[in-house]
Structure 1
Amino acid sequence: MSLWPVYTGTSEPHDGITELPDPPPWRAFDGGPVLKAPADGDDAGASSPDRTHRAETYKATAQTVQLVNAALYLRRPLLVTGPPGTGKSSLAYAVARELRLGPVLRWNITSRSTLNDGLYQYDPLSRLYAARQSPDLSGEAGIENHLRLGPLGTALLPYARPRALLIDEIDKSDLDLPNDLLHVLEEGQYEIPELVRAARHTPVAEVLADGTDERVPVSRGRVRCRAFPFVVLTSNGEREFPPAFLRRCVTLRLSQPDDRHLADIVRAHLGEPDEHGRRLIERFLSRVGGGDLATDQLLNAIYLARASELGAESVDELAAQLMPYLGQGPQADAF
C-alpha cells in the first residue's frame, strides 16, 4: 500500500519517497543504466548553512502538503506562484530535506536563459585549444571533457530516486522558454547533439553533472530519466503562461500567511517572540492589505529589535525603514 502523504511538512527526514506508487501509465519512464542518487543525510537538499536553515524551518500549509504530494504522485512539475517572501524557493529545499532527495539542483532564470542553459553547456573553444596543445592526446580533446550537464539536464539523469530541481523565477524568462520546456518535461528526456554525432567513435561518454566533479555515463548522446524529478518552478505572478504549459503543471498559489502561520514562522526562525516581536507581527499583519510585504522583512525587524535591545519608539522607526511596501522604494511610509 502506498503512503499518503509522502511529504508531510514536518521537517523530519525519512525515506517515504520509496513508498510512492507506480506512476500513471502516461508518466512512466525507463531510462538507464540506473544511477545511484547522491549521498544524503539530514541536511540533504541544502548546500550551505542558510539553505539548511530555510529547509529546517519551512512551515508548510495543509494546501502546500496536498499539492506537493499531488506533484510527486503524478510525476508533474509544481508551479508555485505568490508574492515575494512567501517561501516559494524554500519549499524545494524543505521537500528535498524531508524526503532525502539529495542536494537541490538550482536553475536561476534570467531574460537571457535558454533551454540549452538548463540542459548542458558545451565549450567548443576550449576543445579546440586542447586539440592544438596536445594533438596526439585525443582523450583531452574529446567532447565529453568540454561539456557539463546543467541543472535540468542533471535532474533528468536515470537516478533510482528522484532529484529535486528548482527553476527559480520562470516569469523572468523570454516568451519562448516555457514552451521550450514543455517537450523536455513531458517526455522526461533530451538529446545532446554533439554527443549524438560522436556516438560512432564514443558510444558512451562520461560527462560532468551539475554541482559536482563526478562524471556520469551518457549513452549515444541521449538522456532519459527513470524517476521523474521533483521540479519546482517559481513565479511572482508577473506574467501569464501558455495554457499548454499550465496544463502540464500542478499549480500552488501561495498567499501571505495569516496570524497563526506567521507566528509559527517567527518561532521556527527566532524562537518565541517577545513583546516587541508580537507588536511587530501585529503591525505587519495590519499593513499586509495595503501593498506587498515579504515575511523576511518582518524577520529582519524582529531580529534587529531583539539583538539591539531598542526601545519601543526606536523599534517602530526601524521597522518603518525595514518594512516598506515592495516596489515603492525605501521610504518610511506610515507605520
Structure 2
Amino acid sequence: MNDWRIYRGAGLPHDGVRRLPPPPPWRDFAAAGPDTGAGTDPSAARRLGVQRRLVENHHPRPEEVEAVNAALYLRRPLLVTGTPGTGKSTLAHAVAYELKLGRVLRWPIVSRSTLRDGLYHYDAIARLQDVQLERAGADVGERHSIGSYLRLGPLGTALLPAERPRVLLIDELDKSDLDLPNDLLNVLEEGEFRIHELERIADREPEVEVGTDDGGRAVVRSGLVRCTTFPLIVLTSNGERDFPAALLRRCIQLDLEPPGEEQLTAMVRAHLGDDAVTDGSELIQRFLRREPGEVVAADQLLNALFLTQHAPSAERVTRERLADMLMQPLDRPR
C-alpha cells in the first residue's frame, strides 16, 4: 500500500493500525528492559539506546564536560539552563551511562511540588486504616511496621549512603513555586535530612526499613538519612525565572546553547542513520536558518525527519506541511 496514512478520516473501521512502523527510538517504551543491577538503567534502551552512538562518537562541548567534572569534584549540584530541546535532561542520562552510575532518579517539578515530595512520603491514612482493621480482627498481613507506610522520594533516595554517587535529575526547577529553591538550600548544603515520624520512635525502633524511589528497600537509623557520597544532582531550567543567589552559590552553572550544525548532524545520524542526514539535509538547514531568538527544539527536527521518512509517497506539499506543523517555534503566541 503506497498511502502512508493510517487514519484516513473516512469514518469506516479498518485494521490499518497494523501497518504502523516501529516507533521512533526515543519513543520506544517497549525497549526498556529490567534493572539488572549497578551500572544499568532500565530506561536506557529508550533514552540512550540510540544515543549511545551520539555519546560515544560525538563529544559534547568542552564547557559541558568541564562543568560536569567540576560538579563531580566539588560535590555540588549542576544547574543546567537553556531553551527546550538543548539536551539538558539528556546530559544526566549520558553521565550516568558513561560512569555506570545506575538508574537516573528523576524528580519532575510542577508548581505544586514541595521539598517533602522529593524527600519522602508517609501514608498516615493507610496506616490508620490498617490499625483499625487489625483491631477489628482483619488480617493486614505484613503491614504492621511504620516502614511499610514510608517511601523515600527521588531526592531522599539519592541521599542514601552509597559507595558511588547516584544521579538525580531535578527537572524544570523553574516551574516550582517561589519557596522550593530556598527550601532546597539546607538539604543540598548538608547532604542530609530527618524523617520526623521515625525520629519520634527512635528509642523503640532505632532502625526502620523503608521503600525507596527506585523500588528497593533501605534501612534508616534514628530517623536520619545522611549521604556518604554526595549524588550528582542535575537541576534543569528553561530560564523562565531567576533563582536566588543562595542557590546559585551552591551550584555549578552551565548554560547550554542550541546545537550547531556539527552537533545537529551527529544527533540526526545517531538517531535515524546516515540516510536521514542525506535525505533531510534541507530540513536540517531550515532548522539552522531559523530567525535569531526563535525557539525550536532539536527533537522537533527529529520528529519531522522521522515522519517524512515514513511518508515517501506523500506529495512534496504534504511533506512540507508536515514539517511546518512539527517545527513550529515554541515561543510563537498561540
Query: What TM-score range do you get, normalising by the shorter chain?
Result: 0.7 to 0.9
Q: Where does residue 293 of structure 1 map in the other structure?
A: 296
Write the mapping of 1:27-42 to structure 2, written as runs, cut at 5 A: 39-41=37-39
Q: Provide the secondary structure at the position in 2 that maps to 1:69.
A: helix
Deviation at 1:134, TM superposition (A): 1.6
CA contact (8 A) 1:40 1:101 kept: yes
Which whole-Å deviations, capped at 9, do the CAs of 1:214-257 have from their partners, x for residues lacking one?
A: 31110000011011101000000000000010010001101111
Q: Is the Cα–Cα contact under 8 Å of residues 54 and 90 in structure 1 kept in the other structure?
A: no
The answer to whether the 8 Å contact 2:51/2:270 transfers is no
- Superposition pairs for residues 192-271 of structure 1, below 5 Å? 192-212=195-215, 214-271=216-273
Q: Which residue of 2 aligns with 1:53?
A: 49
Residue pair 2:110, 2:175 contacting (<8 A) in 1 also: yes
Q: Is the 8 A contact 1:165 1:229 kept in 2?
A: yes
Could you tell me which residue of structure 2 aligns to residue 179 of structure 1?
Answer: 182
Aligned equivalent of 1:33:
none
Q: Contact 2:50 / 2:270 at 8 angstroms: preserved in 1?
A: no
- The alignment partner of 1:308 has SS state of coil
Tell me if 1:306 matches 2:304. no
Q: Structure 1 pair 113/54, CA: closer, same or farther in 2 (3 Å)? A: farther
| Inter-partner Cα distance in structure 1 for 2:287 and 2:278 | 14
Task: Indicate which of 315, 318, 322 corresponds to 2:322.
Answer: 318
Aligned pairs for 1:142-181 within 5 A: 142-181=145-184
- Which of the two has higher C-alpha Rg? 2
Q: Deviation string for 1:182-224 (max 9, x for gaps)?
A: 1001100000000000111100000011121x31110000011
Taking structure 1 as reference, are residues 270 and 329 closer, same or farther at Cα in structure 2, changes over 3 Å only?
farther
Partner of 2:99: 99
State whether residues 54 and 94 of structure 1, in contact with CA within 8 Å, keep that contact through their aligned partners in structure 2. Answer: no
The SS at the match of 2:329 is coil
CA contact (8 A) 2:151 2:212 kept: yes
Which deviates more from structure 2 when the two are superposed, residues 297-306 or residues 232-241? 297-306
Determine the C-alpha separation between the residues in 1 that align with 2:248 and 2:81: 12
Distance in structure 2 (CA, Å) of the matches to 1:84 and 1:271: 23
Gaps of 5+ in 2: 1-35
Amino-acid identity (%): 53
Partner secondary structure for residue 265 of structure 2: helix
1:291-324 CA-to-partner distances (Å, cap 9, x unmatched) read 1000001111111122211454443222111111
Amino acid at match of 1:132: Q
Report the 3-state secondary structure (helix = DSSP H, G, I; strand = E; otherwise coil) of the residue aligned with 1:206. Answer: strand
State how many pairs are aligned: 291
SS in 2 for 1:157: coil
* DSSP 3-state at the match of 1:141: coil
Amino acid at match of 1:47: S
What is the rounded CA distance, in whole Å, between the counterparts of 2:185 and 2:141 in structure 1? 37
1:303 and 1:288 map into 2 onto residues whose CA distance is 23
Aligned equivalent of 2:33:
none
Identify unmatched segments of 5+ residues in structure 1. 1-37, 331-335
Displacement of 1:140 after TM fit?
Answer: 2.7
**Structure 1 residue 50: deviation in Å?**
2.0
- Specify the alignment match of 1:72 in structure 2: 72
SS at 2:319 equivalent: helix
Contact kept? 2:210, 2:217, Cα under 8 Å: yes
Q: What residue number does 1:131 align with?
A: 131
Does the CA-based 8 Å contact 2:147-2:209 persist in structure 1? yes
Deviations 1:66-123 (A, max 9, x none): 1111101110000000000011111111111111111111001111111010000001
One-letter amino acid of the counterpart of residue 164, structure 2: R
In 2: Cα distance, 1:288 partner to 1:53 partner: 32
CA distance in 2, matches of 1:67, 1:94: 14
Q: TM-score, normalised by structure 2?
A: 0.82
SS in 2 for 1:217: strand
Rounded Cα–Cα distance in structure 1 between residues aligned with 2:143 and 2:265: 57
What code does the residue aligned with 2:37 have? A
1:55/1:91 contact within 8 Å kept: no
CA distance in 2 between counterparts of 1:138 and 1:314 reads: 61
Quote the Cα distance in structure 2 between the aligned partners of 1:83 and 1:274.
24
What RMSD in Å do the two structures reach over aligned CA positions?
A: 2.1
TM-superposed deviation, 1:329: 5.9
Indicate how the Cα distance of structure 1 residues 323 and 138 shifts in structure 2: closer, same or farther if over 3 A, else same.
closer
| Preserved contact between residue 45 and residue 94 of structure 1 (Cα < 8 Å) | no
